[in-house]
Amino acid sequence: MSTEKKGYDFETAVNNDESTKVQAAAVTRAKQKMEEEQLERDARQVQNRLEQAERDTKDAERAGRYASKKKNILKTYSEGLQTAKEKFESDGDWKAYDDAVEKLKNEKNESIQKAKEAVYGRDAWAIRD
């Protein structure tokens, strides 16, 4: 049997210390990488939100322009109906009244379609009133 006394092993201590330093450096690099990845995700989210805000703003502006055009069209339509009604009340010609109302409806519908196309372009077909 060996009766050697175990003493302090300098080589093992140095290797353990180096191993600990390597592990600590690896943990530090991993943390940095995770932080960078999180920053990248956050930056993408911010960019997506900004792009969505821009789209929402453009949509709202388009809707406002269309609403204004439609309001003017409906005002003209209403005034035309009032004029046709007054004429009918004065002369009693119901056929002329019916023709005038039909013409006003067609003009209104055509004007609304043109307003949609002017504001929304090729997406006008998707807009509901």
pLDDT string in tens for the chain (129-residue length): 455 556 777 677 666 777 787 788 889 999 999 999 999 999 999 999 999 999 999 999 999 999 999 999 999 999 999 999 999 999 999 999 999 999 999 999 999 999 999 999 887 777 776
**Of 66, 97, 69, 70, nearest to 84 (Cα)?**
97
pLDDT for 14: 64
pLDDT for 72: 98
Q: What is the DSSP letter of 28?
A: H
pLDDT for 22: 79
Cα-based distances in Å from 14 to 4, 6, 18, 21, 24: 22, 17, 6, 11, 15
pLDDT for 23: 85
pTM: 0.66
